[in-house]
Every structure is written in C-alpha cells, then in structure tokens.
Amino acid sequence: MGLFDKVKGIVKNAQNAVNTATNTQTQNQQQAVPSHVPQGSVDEPIESYEDEGNDNEEGGFDIAGFNPNTDEENFYNAVLHMESEGQFGGTDESRAEIMARYGIRDRSHWHTVKESYYSLLANQYGGNEVSQREMNWRQGQMQRHMMGQVSNMQAKGGFEPVEGVTLEQWAALNAAIAGGQNYEDVLRGARIEKGRWDRCSAEWNARMARDTTFAIAQIYGNAFQAASQGKYGNYAREATAARAGNRELNMQPPMSYEDYYDILIYQAYGSKQGKDPVTVLKERGLSIVDWTDLSTFMGYLFNRDAQRNWNWYQDIHQRVEAKYAAQNPGVKPDLDIQF
C-alpha cells in the first residue's frame, strides 16, 4: 500500500507541474484584453469609423502616428503599456516613450487614438476577431517572457543535475511511472537506486516550489509531455510546439470541444461527491496522463479561439452544465475551471 501511495503521489505531482506551467501562462495571457473593443464579427463588421455617427466622444478619428497598415502589433503593445501596470504592464518610462514615439499628447488624446485604432481594426476584421488577434499577440509576448525566465534560471544554475539526474531525465522517468510502468523497473532501467531517486525528487520538487518564475515547471512540463506514451501524447507535443511558435495548431482535435467539456464537468461532479480522480477518469477510458495531454491540446485550442467564438463556447458550457445539474440535484460543483 505504501508503494501504491507513492506512485499516486508521483502521478499527482507530475500532473500538477504540467498544469502549473500551462495554467500560469494561460492566466497571464488573459490579462485584460480590453472589453471596449468595438464588437462585431468577421461576417458582420461594424460600420466604418469614418461614417457619419461614428465619431468618438473626443471629436473625431485620430490614430496619431500609428500606421493603419503596419502598426497593429505596435498598437497592441501600446494598449498593454498605457492601460496596465505591474509585472506585465507599463511603467511611467514606457508610457512616456510610447507617447513621444507616436505623438500622443496626453491621456485624453490617447483615449481618442485608442478608440479610433480599435474601430479601424474592427472595421477590417470584426470586433471579436480583433479581441482574438490581441489575445494571440499577448500569448506570444508571454511565451517570449517565459523563455527569458528559462534563460535566466539556466544562467543561475537552477537546472544543474541533482546527483547526476537532470530535470529532463527526472520528468521522463516520472512520465513513465505515471503512464503505468512499474516503479521499480523504471528506476532499475535508469540505474538509479531508491534512496538516490528520493533525494533527487525531493530536491527537484523543492526547486520547483521555490521558483516563482515557473521556469522549472515549464521545462519539466515540456519534458514530461515529450516522454509521454499516452494516447494523446502527440497532441500535447503539437500544442507545446504551437505555443512556442505562437501559431495555430496543425492537428485537428481528437474530439469535439463539447465532448471534452463534458468530461471536465463529469470530473467536477465526481470530485464534489468524493470520488477518486483516477477512478473518475478511468470511467471515461482515460488515465491521468491521457487527461493531462488532452487538456494541454484542448486548452491551447480554446485560448486560440475563445474570443473569436465566445458565444458558441458559452452555449456549450451552459448546455453541458445544465445536463449534469439535472442529473445531480443538490450537488454544487466548483465550476471555476482553468484551461
């Protein structure tokens, strides 16, 4: 029983590490894509900003020094710096530089410029599409930031092997164990005795816990999924590559989003009723590794598409949640689920 508990702990730690890296990126990507982007769709664009009745409250169309054809990403960068502060926002210096570069006189003028350029983009793409394009741009910025954190951690020696075991090797061995291989056989094949393994695991877990940049969790998650032999391993690897390149996925999803969300809500109700998560997933023909890999792919797909098709996603969420609420009267699961 002790060994079984140990293996379950390894599986749980592996899943948590992969999800920590993915969810941290996702939460940071979703910072305040402005809700005031003029709404519309690709099929039904809003009227041209220059049409009668579309002048903003500051009195006219004015994009200052932004080029309407080439400055879309520069504009998103300006919004990020002008509209937010903190780790991923602007500073007094960066805002002053942006204002000087594009000829923005003051905050009132910035408001006019911002609304004008958003309306120009919405007229070209549709408001929901503009929100998606900005979200995807921010995703790329977060990926570059994360790679910078990884480089910094490497320079500080945070990835130095522990008793000869690298982070990637530790992740790969954990992936094998989580995938169902025998614990002792995995260690024997790697020529690592149990005491050494326990010390390595303790140190890598401690480093990961201390690392507030999540650089170690990022590399661990990538290595864990690179070694995954689960049935959705190739999907997870494609999502990891797509995130690194800030690009669209080159693989079609292995199931519909509604089927994926159905499994997710099924787990939420099972957890609320005290069911073991491994058992709940097994009822749907999945292991924890399968679910982790699948969620990596489907979560990335959702983030690349959520702003564009939010109404469609909302309809799915409400329909699936209503189905399980009817099947489980009186049960109130936690549906604040991170993708």
Which range has the worst mean pLDDT, 6-20, 148-162, 170-184? 6-20
- What is the rounded CA–CA span in Å between residue 226 and residue 236? 8
Q: Global pTM? A: 0.75
Residue 47 has pLDDT above 70, yes or no: no
Q: How far apart are CA 136 and CA 61, in angstroms?
A: 26
User: Which ranges of 92-193 would DSSP assign to H, the alpha helix?
Assistant: 92-102, 107-125, 127-155, 167-178, 183-189
pLDDT of residue 230 exceeding 50: yes
- Band the pLDDT of 7: cuts 50, 70, 90: very low
CA torsion, points 15, 19, 22, 28, in degrees to nearest 10?
Answer: -160
Dihedrals phi, psi of 34, to nearest 5 degrees: -55, 130
Percent above pLDDT 90 for the chain: 67
Band of residue 339 on the pLDDT scale cut at 50, 70, 90: very low
Residue 35 scores a pLDDT above 80 = no
Which residue's entry shows tokens 């292991």? 287
Work out the angle at residue 213's Cα, subtended by the Cα atoms of residues 85 and 5, and round it to the nearest 5 degrees. 135
The predicted pLDDT at position 288 comes to 87
Is the pLDDT at 212 greater than 50? The verdict is yes
Q: Estimate to the nearest angstrom the gap between the alpha carbon of 333 and the chain centroid.
A: 23
Q: What's the pLDDT score for residue 178?
A: 87
> Is the per-residue pLDDT at 66 higher than 70?
yes
| Beta carbons of 254 and 313 less than 8 angstroms apart | no
| Helix %, strand %, coil % of the chain (to 5) | 65, 0, 35
Contact present, 40 and 128 (Cβ < 8 Å): yes
Do residues 113 and 103 make contact, with C-beta atoms less than 8 angstroms apart?
no
**The pLDDT value given to residue 336:** 55
Q: Structure tokens of 103?
A: 């000829």
The number of CA neighbours under 13 Å toward the Cβ of 202 is 7
- Cβ atoms of 158 and 216 within 8 Å: the answer is yes
* CA atoms of 68 and 71, how far apart (whole Å): 6
**How confident is the model over 11-18, as a mean pLDDT?**
48
Q: 288: which strand partners?
A: none
DSSP 8-class letter at 325: H
R_g of the chain, CA atoms, integer Å: 23
**pLDDT of 87 higher than 50:** yes
In the predicted model, is pLDDT for residue 3 greater than 50?
no
Which pLDDT belongs to residue 332?
85
Residue 253's contacts (CB-CB under 8 Å, 6 or more residues apart) are 235, 260, 297, 298, 301
Residue 202 scores a pLDDT above 60? yes
Q: Give me the chain's average pLDDT, please.
A: 84
CA distance linking residue 76 with residue 72, whole number of Å: 6
Which residue in this structure is represented by tokens 């201390």? 210
- Check pLDDT > 90 for residue 88: no
Question: What are 280's two structure tokens?
Answer: 């709940």
Question: How far is the C-alpha of 72 from the C-alpha of 124, rounded, in Å?
Answer: 12
**Predicted local distance difference test score (pLDDT) of residue 85:** 87
Q: CA angle at residue 120 from 115 to 123, to 5 degrees?
A: 120
Q: Distance between CA atoms of 265 and 21, rounded to whole angstroms?
A: 22
pLDDT number for residue 67: 96
- Among 98-107, 207-216, 330-339, name the one with the lowest average pLDDT: 330-339
